[in-house]
Structures are given as structure tokens and as C-alpha cells.
Structure 1
Amino acid sequence: MAEREYRKNDKGMKQVIFLKVCLLFIVVTVLSACSVKRFIPKDEKLYSGATIKINNINKIKGLSSLEEELQELLRPEPNSKFLGSRIGLYYHYKTEQGKKGFLTKYMNKKFGENPMYYSNVSQNKVINLIKNRLDNRGFFNSKVTASVKEKKYTKSIVYTIDLTEPYVLETYQLENDTLPFYKEIKEELKTTLLKKGTRYSLESFKQERIKIDESLKARGYYNFNQDFIIFEADTNQYKNKRFDLYLRIKKETPKKALIPYQINKITVYPNHNLDQKNKVLDSTEYKGVYFIQDTVFFKPKRLHNYLLLNKDDFYNPQNSKITSKRLSSIGTYKYVNIQFDEKSYQENDSLGSLEANIYLSPLNKRSLGLELQAVTKSNNFAGPGLSINYRNRNLFSGGELLSLTGTVAYETQIGNNTQNLNGLKVGLGASLTFPRLIFPWDLTGRFKYGVPKTKISFDSEYLSRSNLYGLSSFTSSFGYHWDANKYLSHQINPININYVKLFNTTSDFKDILEKNAFLQSSFDQQFIAGFTYNLTYSELGRSSKKNQIFFASNLDIAGGALSLLSQNTSAGKKTFLGLEYAQYAKVDIDFRYYLGLGKEQTLITRLYGGLGIPYGNSSVLPFTKQFFAGGPYSVRGFASRSIGPGRYNGSTTNSTYFDSSGDIRLEANLEYRFPIYSLIKGALFADAGNVWLYNNSSSLEEDNSLSLEGGQFSSNFINELAASVGAGVRVDIQSFVIRFDLATPVKQPISNSLSTIKLSNTILNFAIGYPF
């Protein structure tokens, strides 16, 4: 029987290798067929691009950003390549020749490109652009030349720059005046970035103008504009490439731009629509703010807490921006429009007056949605799902949101090295979200950026797992969520209850539990009640920084408060309402650094660590709270949940999908992402990680043969990491990502050294979305 199984697996491996070789042969053949050489006119050559060479004879430091700027000036762009072939250009030529097949027309429509010949390139135009940019960065009178590199079918250009020594700032002065306005500018210049020794740069001057303009507007100068600011550089006082910089205000600047403005009236329209234009609506005043609505669509008391605009405050666009964001976050409104109307201005006025009008256009109160889903999970399960969702917005005229959801889904394990498990999942959920803090004390004034939301939720789920077991779960939570700023958010659930019931267990699953005391103990505790907290800091998509950071941490503490209300059983366990409950503390940290390399290239470093400590009633973490490693979102050269714990390596007859879990998880990932062609992106990556036990499971059973030997965390953990390397292709359609990652192991947890890469051990991971 064992010999027959070996032959079957060996045959399967050979088939996998054969398919991969065939696929490689097809790709090479297709790309070779896409040669465009035969289509190029005899009197033309393709333009293959340009490079820049800088002769830095003065050894000037910090030129990397300048080089990137100059690269962007290289015009035009050459025809794009995919693995060395100009596929877009190839299908353009095929179409031009009259080839009207479906594939040709489709590929030309999606990826076709007009040929870029060398004759279309204007060297002088590019040279002038480069010289102008160098002048704007202080490198006046630099020499730029061009040389051509010619091949049989292509030409490229090298632009060589003999860089001169740049001009640097000696003094920065403000033309003074007696108006209070100039005192405001002088105060702002204390934090200027234009310090002595700063290189001359028009971009720096532009940023300084923006900074001053924003500062003055925040102090109430409603009518001021950055175009009123002039910078003048004077080099006449020096012989060694230094300059004095003078900041002046244009003489023709209107006087109303030089005085601050106050808000003297605030009016809110909570149910604004165009039909109300000529209607006379009721007006209600609450804390100095007028609310105009026919009937009470939104209670003024509730809406007022979202406003950061107050009567007699100086105009501040930042307060207006945050108010707009806070109002939009309620979830009741489709549009939020804040307008300021300037009152009549007199020539001798030292203070201007504004009226703030806030127009709020609501969404439909009720909505019903049906969604067909395709889901992939970190455990290699994937499949279709159907979800129906009902929403009732502004339920109690205070922005409350009632949501009812029903889902049904089928999922199966995909990829190689899986155990062909599948399941049917049915779920029902209900939640009620209040766009404010429900708390014994009023803490509204403590939150300036985002108003906390209070959410109460109830969910139930039934899962039938492929001839193994059925699992029903009931979850309820009460908690808060808020944004501290545009990068930082918090979520805290003081009450988080989860009840899980295992039923319809088959003999196969019972055998698995009997052979793994650790696993059996993790299914014993069916009742979890505790506290959870999440902190997330993310610069992704919210910052103009070239290099961005993501950080997230979760804290989960269960069973602590219940111990005060529990009863002891004869077995020494504590129960609440007759249910034995879990006790543990769990924390994890996820840190990522995105290093921008330019031209859509990014190098991502990720470090992940998690620790769960069972105590009291629990000797191990509940199964749903344990850590796993391996799969498309973890160490991709290993099947999902197949690594560890530690050096433990169950035999081929006894190891299962459920064995490789632990209380501790460490993981590191390095991934280089780059564009390939249009929507197609590529990646090269390396992953390492493992899970370990906090308590060795031998303590759970008198029979040590049932323990997970080598599974406990020790000082030798570095040598117990699993590692893999691979490459991936992703189709990125407006942030909807279909991902294929091919990876192979290079180190096993039981080995202290790297292993030989074998094609037969590769794993193809399919997933939706980036791994991190």
C-alpha cells in the first residue's frame, strides 16, 4: 500500500514538472514570435530610450532627487517591453498589416502602441528642458551634451551633464512694515526650511510660499493668496556663488487680503436638496448655530458635535476641512458642502466678517444589496459566496446605522500540498452603529479629528467542514472606533463574546483529536469573553512620502473579568453560567516599510510577531485564536498551516491540516515589486517564519508519544525558521489584485542549513489582493 502511494505521488510530481516545462516552453515560443524587427521600415530605427550621466567634478552631495527629476524630463517614452519583447508594438504592426483576428484586435485595443522611432526624438528640446531644470535648482550654466548609441534596429541617447557648483543661501530677509500682517509672517519665518547654506531651488521657494499662505489662512487671512508673495535673489554681494533672499509682498495686494476674518454666523442645512430652494423652512438655533430643515431629519443636538466651526472664531480652512470629514464619516450624507460668504468690506476695516453655510445632501435612507463574492483566505481556502445586506441609515435621526447581513459560501482548498478539504458556510449578522461615543461621561471635546463611533454587533455562523465536523459560532461585541488623525486609528471592544459549539464530529476527526492532545485541548474551551484593542498607523495612500510605513498591533485578553463571577468545578476548572471559558492574553505586531525606488518600483520589508499566553482554565489557546504559518499570505513556499510548531514534523501518516499551530509566531518577509506591462506587475520575494508552543503539549497527556516534540519555543528559534523564495505575477485593476506567486522552500524548520532548490517542491499560490 505504501509503495503504491509512493508511486502515485512520484507520478504526480513528474506531471507537475512536465506541465511547468511546457508552460515555460510556450512562454518562450510566444515571446520569440512577437519580434517586431521585420516590421521596422528600412529608413527608420526604433528609439530604445535615454540615460543621464552626471559628471560631478565638484563632488556635490545629495544629487539622488535631482537625478530622478532629470530622468522624468527624458522625452519621448520608448515602446514598452515585456520580457524583452515589444508586445504592444507587435500587435499594432499586425493590425496595420490588416490582420483582423479576434486575438489581434483584442491585444491591440488593450496593449497596442504606436511605434516610437528615433526620428521622432528632439535632442535639443530635451537638452533645453534639462538646462532649465538645472537652472531652477541652482546649477546655473551647466553644460549638457547628447551622444547616440546605435544598434542594428535601435538607437538610444546618453545625455551627459557637466555639473557646475550650485548657489547657496547666505541670508533670508523679510521686507518689513507696521501692519500686524507682517508680524504674522515674521512669526512664521521662525520655522522656515530655508536656512543658511540651503541650495538655490525654485521648488523650495514654492514650498515656502505655500507654507506661509497656509499659516496666514489658519490665522484668519481669508483673502490672502500665495501669488501675493514675491521672492528676490541677490548675488551681487558675493563672488563665491552665494545669494541673499528677500521676501516681499506685492504692492498691488488688495487691503482686504491683509486683514483677518471672523465667522459671525453658522447655518446648517441637514436635509438639503434642490427642491428646497424656494421653500420657507423651519429654523432651530442650538448653541449659536442655526439648523434649517422642514421636519427634524437630523437632531441639531447630535449634529452640532461634528462641527469645529464656532461663532466669532477666526477663519481656519483646516477646521473647515476636518468638519467636512467628520460630517462625511457619519455615513448618512452623500455630499457635504461648506461655503463661506463674505460680508461687505469697508476700506478702513481691520477685521473682516464671514457667514458659514453647511449644505448636507443625504443618501437614500434604506438600501438593499446583493453581492456575489469570490474569496481567498490565508489558509488556502477559496470559493464563491453570496451576500445580501439591508441598511437603514439615520435610524433615530442621529446618524445611526442598522445593518442586517446574510451570507452563504462554499469554500475548498486550492493549490498543491493541500488535503482537499472543503466546507459550506452560512451566516447571519446584525449591527447597530452610533456615530458618537456612548459612554457614562461626555468626552466629545477630547476628539478633534474624528468623532468616535459606537458599534453593537451580533453574528452567528454555521460551518460544515468536509466530512470532519460541524461548527456553530455566536459572536457579540460592544466597542468604539475612531481616527486620531489621517494616519492613526483605534478600535477598542470592552465587551467581546464568542461561543463555539463543535458537533457532528466524524470518526476521522475524532481520531485526529485523540492523536493530538494539544489540538483536543484547543477545542475544549467553547466560551470566550474578553477585551480587544487594535491600533493601526498607516501612511499608505495617505501620504506623499516616497517611503511609507504601516504598523498595526492587536491586544486580546479573555477570561479575566469572568473569574470574578465564576464557579469552580470538581475538576478544578472555572465556569460561567455552566460553561467552561477560555483564559489567555494575546498580542501581535505587524510592521511594514515600503521603500520607493521610483518608476513604480517598491521594496517592502515586513516583520510580524505574535504571542499568546494561556492561563487559568486554559493550557493552550482556543483553536480559533492560535497562530499558523505557511500559505499565500505567509511563508509562500509552504502549504497553508503546514509549518511547525517549531521543529515538530509529524509523520506522513499522522500529520494533518490541524497539527501545525502554536501560541507564538515570528515571520519576516522581503518583497520587490516592479511593473511588467500595463496592468501586469511582478514581484520577487523571500519569506521566513514559524510557530511555536508556549507550553509543550506533553503536559496535557501522560503519554509523551502524543506530544509535539520539538514544538516549544527556545533560544534556538532562529535555526527553526522555515524559509522560501519565489516570484509572482499580479494583475492590478484599480486596486483589485489577482495574484499568482510561485515559491519554493530553501530551508526546513528541522534543518540548520539551506536546502537545494527543487522544481518539484514549488508551490503555486493563488490569492486576491497583495500579501501585505
Structure 2
Amino acid sequence: MRAKIFLQLLFIGLLSSCGVTKFIPEDERLYTGAELEVKTNDSEGVNNKALKIIHTRLEDVIQPDPNGKFLGMRIGLWAYYKGSKEKPGFINRFLKKKIGQEPVYFSQVNPSKTEELLLNRLENNGFFYSLSSSESTGKGKFAGVEYMVEVSRPYRLEKYQLEGDSLTIQKEIAKIIEETELKPGVRFELDAFKSERLRLNDELKKRGFYNFNADYLIFEADTNNYDERKFDLFLRLKQDVAEKSIVPYEVKDIRVYPNYSVDEEKGNQDTTTIQDIDFIQDELAFRPELLEKYILIKEEEAYSSELSRLTTNRLSSIGNYRYVNLRYVEKDSIGTQGPWGLDANIYLSPLKKRSLRAELQGLSKSNNFIGPAVLLTYRNRNIFKGGETFNISAQFGYETQIAGGDRTGLSTYDIGLKSDLIFPRVIFPVNIEERFSYSVPKTKISLGGESLNRIGLYRSNSATISYGYYWNANRFVYHEINPISLSVVSLSDTSPEFEEILDDNPFLRRSFEQQFIAGLNYTFNYNQLGDQFRKHKIFAGTTVDVAGNLLNLMDNTFGKGESGKVFGMEYAQYARGDLDFRYHIKLGEENVLATRVFGGIGIPFGNSVSLPYVKQYSAGGPNSVRAFRIRSLGPGTYQPDSINNQSYFDQTGDIRIEGNIEYRFPIVSYLKGALFMDAGNVWLMNDNEALPGGKFTSSWLRELGVGAGFGLRIDIEFFVIRFDFAAPIRKPFLPEGERWLKEFKVFDRDWRRENLIFNFAIGYPF
């Protein structure tokens, strides 16, 4: 049945627009959409940039939207008509339900009404006395509308002032107006006035005016003082506004309930007072002296909506509470002198303290390894009654590599144990007063061990310890720093085949012998990609990783044994940093153009001639240059004599440069499509005789691998299953002059086997 549906969809794709003509009723014409022409006879008052902005705003007014097209075909409309027949059949009913679009006819269009809306939108933007007209277009069973708008010179602001200054609130408004964006010369714009009113409302709430509302402010425009198109803007308060709405409040009593539940009866609760804040709880659920540090509102200080919001954010960021509710109660202030009063009650409803979770996972990694895994996790929230979280997890997994051409069949099983202890505050030998108002930095201590067996090659046992801090500076910015990061790796049970690989490449052997990695790392992310309402989105991330310097200093100062070793193990010395920049632009409701540029470099020094193997870069695969198999690209122009699992370990580097561009579009329902192009490679910092052509040189641009392809994605909101098909356009390992692919024989089986690469992955690549 699925094959039949697919074939019918393929058949639909072969239909042209005229495939729906026979279904259009005799007395109707299909609406094909509208064209909008915006012009002006006053080029000095309205320049080309302003015309483009006006054009965009006016397009939002034009309704209705015509039936959608995919590659010029009205597939949704065709499915609707076919599914609406007297006896449509199961498949046609299914297609109508899933992708059908009800037809939009020209009779549903009201051009005169739309003209009125266009003029109204122009007046709201300061273009009074403009002109609009329309005429129908098209022929036969298809018709559209062309709208013409002639824009007049806009009205511009001359003076903006507040009426009245005797009330306390009016004095505060006068101070806030000094920071206004409504400067002389700006165009009359209704949305700008609304934004200014909301800004004033927000600022007043930050300054104590608890009951104020933006609706209490009125703007009035006056053009009587000018012959030219100018206006004065006056701001005033509404008359007869209740006194409590225009007076400042201050916080009086603050009460915190650290273990609040609406389902439980209140018993004999104890009250502990810290810094004038009452902490009320039946039994000790959270140590008051620690919880107090998260609360920014203070007794006898002015009410502030911003401090209230930040207090709620900070308490939520602890990670122990399901609900955080800050409620204010007005005190009886009649007849009192000074600010009116508010009592603050903070109700904290905790999550379940202990949990045990078992998961059966299906893993898909960027190196094309997939397989099952079992994960057991125990969690204890608030283990020391200060919001601390203790996690311990055990994992057993098996992986095998697929979609790697001749590299398939590399299998691995691993057993791991990891524990984390997270403190929702800064833990440091010297007391540090944190000053992060948005969220509180967390201290994380991690300890883990893993035994990994690459079947038929080697076994690797590792232990890691890290100590660091992470926090969100705001909703876009994330920081993480680990001043202590230790990793010990022990390589054992190496097979003769793997020993042969290491003997052929001394650099690779050295990278595996770097058994001890000790250093620090820092990560910074600026991420707007999760903001669904933003048209232009960026992500900028950088990671800096430095290792071995402190050990080298201790080795040179106190070392008595073999230089370059600690506890009998070689330690790595390197500096590694990378930058990941992404830019997404929405071209429609679900159409996105996504781009990424990545650059990374690792510099080995001291007793290291190469990066540790786990720190090296690779290129190719589902999250890299997708037209090349995993780790099959580079370094530089290097190409192994035979492509197999041995070359899997060779084709890594100290430098990685990559660029990607991808156009994402909807197909039907949860099925999305993509067209993409990738370019990139990896290189070595030092010459390696085993990898000729691998060193980074000034000709690196001519050594980029380039590929292009298309993809299908099943996007079900909370996860994405991705299928990408790609072919190389440029192969850097071929002789110069032969690197660009000159022919595409997509119907030739041998060509497809050699060039067409299939990638399967979870999630978007960038």
C-alpha cells in the first residue's frame, strides 16, 4: 500500500497546473494570487528603501492567499478535487485528508475592500492622502488581481512632549521619555506609538507602579501648526484613573514556602528569617541561608517587575522545582504616607526527589555508527538540601558502522559508568559573590569511566574527571568553563592488524600513546535558532581547549624521571580552538535557507607532534561534507592506497575548514525536503610521511572537497529523522585539473556505487 501511495504521488508530480482545470466549476475561476505595484511621485520624500519596506507591509494586507504550489504544480488542490469525487477510493481520500487544499476561487476576492485596507495601512504608517486601484488579470479558468498604490509624502515628527508634570508618575514618565526612539524627523507610525506606550508601561513597572496599565496613556497628534507635512505628538494620562494605578508601591513582607503543595494540609510550620525574608516549611526542605541568595526583591525597596521576573528565573534555574509562583498581595494603604505596600509570597513546588530510569536506546552517531544501548540512570534532587543534583548512570551499548562503503563492518561495544554532582551556585575555594541576575551559575563535578572495544582492533579503557561552571547570561548566551579536565586512556588488546596500522604511521601511534590529557576548556554559544518568530537567526559558538601546560611546568620543576611523562604515562600538550557560525533566514512560513561556516585548528607542541586521537578533526559524513563517506576526506590531497577500515584511523587532521548551505522546504505534512551543497577538508599541522599531501599550505582553497545533494526529513516537532543523498562535485585527492566532476551518470549503476552517498541521521546537520 505504501508503495502504491508513493507511485501515485510520483504521478502527481508529473502533472502540470492545467491538470486541475477540468475540476473547476463552470461559473468559477481559480484565484492565482495578487501582484502589488508601489510607486511614488515624490522621490525625495519616499526613497527606494522606504518603498521596499512599504511594499512588504502592504503585502500582509492582501487576502486571500491562493492555493499553494510545489515546483509550479498545485498538488494540494489536485488531491482535494480527486478526493471529493463521488467514489474517490481509499488512496484519494487519504491524499485529500493529508495534503488536500480547498480551492480558492476569484469570487472570494473583494478588490475594493482590499484597496481600503491598503490605504488604511498606509495611513497607519504616516502616508495620508495616498491612492490605490486594482484590475483583474489572467484568462480562461484562472484569474488574479493587480493592485497599484501611489504613495504620498509621509508626515514626520517635529516635537514630542508630555502634558502635565505635577504627579509623581508624570515626573517618572518625563525621565523615561528622554530615552525614546521617537526623535524629530521620524515618520508617523502607529506601531511605533504602540511600542512606545508598552515601553513606558514596562519602565514604570520597573519603578514601582504595580497597578499601572499601558491603556492609561493616550497619544494625540497635532498638524495645525505646520503647512508642511509635520506633526507634534503629545502624551497624556487618561482622566479619572484610579489612584492606586498611578502611585508607586514598595515591597513589605516577603514569605517563601520552599516545600509548597496545594494537595497537602498545612501543619505546624516553622519560620526561619534570613535577611528579612521569612522561610516557612514543615520540615527542612531547602536550607534558607542558601535559598535566600536566589531572591533579588528586598523588603522596603520599590516594587520592580524586572526583579520579580529575574527572581522567578533564578529559582526555576535551580532545577528542583516544578512550579515557581511569585504572588503579590496589596496591603491596605488608605490613609498611609509614602509608597503603597505589597506583600510578596513565593510558592515553590518541588519535583520528585528521587528517580530511577531505564532506557532502551537506538543510537545514531555522526560517524555512521548505529546500534542499541541500555541506559540506567539514578537521580537525587536536593541531596544536601541546597538544590544539589546527583546523577549516576550506567550504559552498555553495541554499535556497528553502516553506510560507509568499504568501511562498513567496524563494530564496537562499550560499557560506561558516569556520575555528576551539580551545585546550583559557584563552589570555589575563595568565596565569590555571584552577580548574574538572569540565572545562577552552576558548579558541576563529573567522574566517569568507559571500556570501549573496537572488535578485531583494540580495547580502550578511559577515566575522566572534570570540574567546572556553566550558566546562561541571557536567553541567547551560554557559557561553560572547565578549569579542571583530566582524561586517562589505556590502550590494550591491540590486534596484529591494528599494530600494523600504527607501525605504518608513527604520528598515529603517537596520538594513541598520549594517554594523559590534563587542561582546561571554555565554550561560548550565542544561539537564536530556537526563536521561531525571528526571520533572521544566527548561532555563533566557540570552544577553546588547552592541555598539558601545567603538567609541563610541574615536570620541568619537580620531574625526576623521564621527561614528558606523569605517573609513568605520556601527557599531551596542545592548544585547540574552533568557531562555528550559522545563519538561518526564513523565506516563508516553513521555507528556510540555512548556512554554516566552521573553522577549527589544533596546535600540538612540547612533547606532542600530533593531537591526541580523540581530539583530532575529521571530514565527511552526515554532519560534515555529505558527499564523502565518514572520515574519507583528507587530510589535504591524501588518498589511501585502498579504502577500508584501516584508513578510517588515518584520515584525520589538526585543522578543519568547512562551509555548508541548505535550502529547506515543506513537501507534505511532516515530510520536509532539502537541497544542499557542502565544502570542506582537514589538514595536518606537521608533515607526516605516511600521509603525503596532508599538510596545510597556502593552496588549501584548491584542496576543498565539494558535494551537493538533496534530502528528505521526517520532522515530528520533537525529533527529526534525516535521509540525505549526495554526490561529490570536486574530489581534492585527484590530480589538479581532474578534480571537478565532469559528468553525472545517475542512471549508471557503477557511477552511483562510486559517487552517490546515502546518509542517515537524527536531527538537522546545523
Instruction: Name the aligned partner's letter for residue 31 of structure 1.
Output: G
- Is 1:127 matched up with 2:111? no
How far has the Cα of 1:161 moved from its partner?
1.6
**Counterpart mapping for 1:279-298 below 5 A:** 279-298=267-286
Instruction: Name the aligned partner's letter for residue 507 of structure 1.
Output: P
Instruction: Name the aligned partner's letter for residue 633 of structure 2.
Output: I
Q: 1:58 aligns with which of 8, 32, 42?
A: 42
CA distance in 2, matches of 1:564, 1:591: 35
Q: Is the 8 A contact 2:404 2:630 kept in 1?
A: no
The match for 1:72 is 60
- Is 1:254 matched up with 2:242? yes
From the superposition, tell whether residues 543 and 47 of structure 1 become closer, same or farther in structure 2 (CA, over 3 Å). closer
Q: Is the 8 A contact 2:502 2:509 kept in 1?
A: yes
Q: Is the 8 A contact 2:39 2:51 kept in 1?
A: no
The match for 1:196 is 184
The match for 1:766 is 760
How far has the Cα of 1:105 moved from its partner?
4.2
CA distance in 2, matches of 1:23, 1:516: 53
Which segment drifts farther, 463-472 or 747-756? 747-756
From the superposition, tell whether residues 115 and 466 of structure 1 become closer, same or farther in structure 2 (CA, over 3 Å). farther
CA distance in 1, matches of 2:89, 2:455: 46
The match for 2:379 is 391
The match for 2:101 is 113
Which segment drifts farther, 276-285 or 245-254? 276-285
How far has the Cα of 1:28 moved from its partner?
4.4
Instruction: Name the aligned partner's letter for residue 683 of structure 2.
Output: W
Question: What per-residue deviation string (whole Å, max 9, x for no partner) do you get for residues 418-473 of structure 1?
Answer: 51023223322211111111112222342222111111112222333343233232
How far has the Cα of 1:341 moved from its partner?
0.8
From the superposition, tell whether residues 479 and 113 of structure 1 become closer, same or farther in structure 2 (CA, over 3 Å). same
- Is 1:525 matched up with 2:514? yes
- Is 1:453 matched up with 2:442? yes
Question: What per-residue deviation string (whole Å, max 9, x for no partner) do you get for residues 174-193 of structure 1?
Answer: 11322232222121112111
How far has the Cα of 1:40 moved from its partner?
2.9
CA distance in 2, matches of 1:384, 1:84: 43
CA distance in 2, matches of 1:432, 1:484: 22
- Is 1:738 matched up with 2:721? yes
CA distance in 2, matches of 1:757, 1:336: 63
How far has the Cα of 1:247 moved from its partner?
1.1
* SS of residue paired to 2:178: helix
Q: Is the 8 A contact 1:255 1:347 kept in 2?
A: no
Q: 1:718 aligns with which of 686, 701, 726?
A: 701
CA distance in 2, matches of 1:369, 1:105: 43
Instruction: Name the aligned partner's letter for residue 541 of structure 2.
Output: A
Q: 2:167 aligns with which of 152, 156, 179?
A: 179
Q: 2:661 aligns with which of 667, 670, 681?
A: 670
- Is 1:310 matched up with 2:304? no
Q: Is the 8 A contact 2:555 2:563 kept in 1?
A: no
How far has the Cα of 1:545 moved from its partner?
4.5
CA distance in 1, matches of 2:62, 2:546: 57
Which segment drifts farther, 58-67 or 388-397? 58-67
The match for 2:625 is 635
Tell me the C-alpha RMSD between the 2 structures.
2.7
- Is 1:486 matched up with 2:475? yes
Q: Is the 8 A contact 1:486 1:542 kept in 2?
A: no
CA distance in 2, matches of 1:289, 1:765: 58
CA distance in 1, matches of 2:146, 2:363: 49
The match for 2:31 is 47
CA distance in 2, matches of 1:445, 1:307: 13
From the superposition, tell whether residues 84 and 386 of structure 1 become closer, same or farther in structure 2 (CA, over 3 Å). farther
Question: What per-residue deviation string (whole Å, max 9, x for no partner) do you get for residues 350-404 of structure 1?
Answer: 4111111101111111122233433332222233433232211111111111112
Instruction: Name the aligned partner's letter for residue 642 of structure 1.
Output: S
From the superposition, tell whether residues 614 and 409 of structure 1 become closer, same or farther in structure 2 (CA, over 3 Å). same
Instruction: Name the aligned partner's letter for residue 35 of structure 2.
Output: T
**Counterpart mapping for 1:678-717 below 5 A:** 678-698=669-689, 707-717=690-700
Q: 2:741 aligns with which of 739, 755, 759?
A: 755
From the superposition, tell whether residues 73 and 376 of structure 1 become closer, same or farther in structure 2 (CA, over 3 Å). farther
CA distance in 1, matches of 2:595, 2:400: 31
CA distance in 1, matches of 2:373, 2:743: 37
CA distance in 2, matches of 1:280, 1:133: 62
Q: Is the 8 A contact 2:584 2:594 kept in 1?
A: yes
CA distance in 2, matches of 1:471, 1:250: 75
**Counterpart mapping for 1:249-648 below 5 A:** 249-276=237-264, 278-346=266-334, 349-415=337-403, 417=405, 419-420=407-408, 421-542=410-531, 545-566=534-555, 573-648=563-638
* SS of residue paired to 2:407: coil
* SS of residue paired to 2:31: strand
Q: Is the 8 A contact 1:612 1:621 kept in 2?
A: yes
Instruction: Name the aligned partner's letter for residue 579 of structure 1.
Output: M
From the superposition, tell whether residues 191 and 274 of structure 1 become closer, same or farther in structure 2 (CA, over 3 Å). same
CA distance in 2, matches of 1:151, 1:237: 52
How far has the Cα of 1:662 moved from its partner?
0.7
Instruction: Name the aligned partner's letter for residue 741 of structure 2.
Output: S
* SS of residue paired to 1:436: coil
CA distance in 1, matches of 2:13, 2:130: 43
The alignment-based identity, stated in percent, is: 45
CA distance in 2, matches of 1:101, 1:127: 43
How far has the Cα of 1:277 moved from its partner?
5.2
Q: Is the 8 A contact 2:314 2:437 kept in 1?
A: no
Which segment drifts farther, 25-34 or 654-663? 25-34
From the superposition, tell whether residues 419 and 558 of structure 1 become closer, same or farther in structure 2 (CA, over 3 Å). same
Instruction: Name the aligned partner's letter for residue 267 of structure 1.
Output: R
* SS of residue paired to 2:63: coil
* SS of residue paired to 2:577: strand
- Is 1:32 matched up with 2:14? yes
Which segment drifts farther, 492-501 or 507-516? 507-516
From the superposition, tell whether residues 592 and 315 of structure 1 become closer, same or farther in structure 2 (CA, over 3 Å). same
Question: What per-residue deviation string (whole Å, max 9, x for no partner) do you get for residues 257-316 of structure 1?
Answer: 222111011110111111345544221111110011100011111111111111112111
Instruction: Name the aligned partner's letter for residue 164 of structure 2.
Output: N
Q: Is the 8 A contact 1:744 1:757 kept in 2?
A: no
Q: Provide TM-score, normalisation by structure 2.
A: 0.91
Structure 2: which 5+ residue stretches go unaligned? Answer: 747-751
Structure 1: which 5+ residue stretches go unaligned? Answer: 1-21, 699-706
CA distance in 2, matches of 1:221, 1:184: 10
CA distance in 1, matches of 2:112, 2:451: 70
CA distance in 2, matches of 1:503, 1:151: 78
Instruction: Name the aligned partner's letter for residue 288 of structure 1.
Output: D
Question: What per-residue deviation string (whole Å, max 9, x for no partner) do you get for residues 335-360 of structure 1?
Answer: 01101111113267541111111011
CA distance in 1, matches of 2:279, 2:566: 50
CA distance in 1, matches of 2:25, 2:394: 62
* SS of residue paired to 2:462: strand
**Counterpart mapping for 1:202-221 below 5 A:** 202-221=190-209
* SS of residue paired to 2:132: strand
Question: What per-residue deviation string (whole Å, max 9, x for no partner) do you get for residues 687-741 of structure 1?
Answer: 221111112124xxxxxxxx31121112222222222223333332214222233
Instruction: Name the aligned partner's letter for residue 677 of structure 2.
Output: A
Task: Give the aligned length.
Answer: 743
Instruction: Name the aligned partner's letter for residue 425 of structure 2.
Output: R
How far has the Cα of 1:537 moved from its partner?
1.5
Q: Provide TM-score, normalisation by structure 1.
A: 0.90
How far has the Cα of 1:665 moved from its partner?
1.2
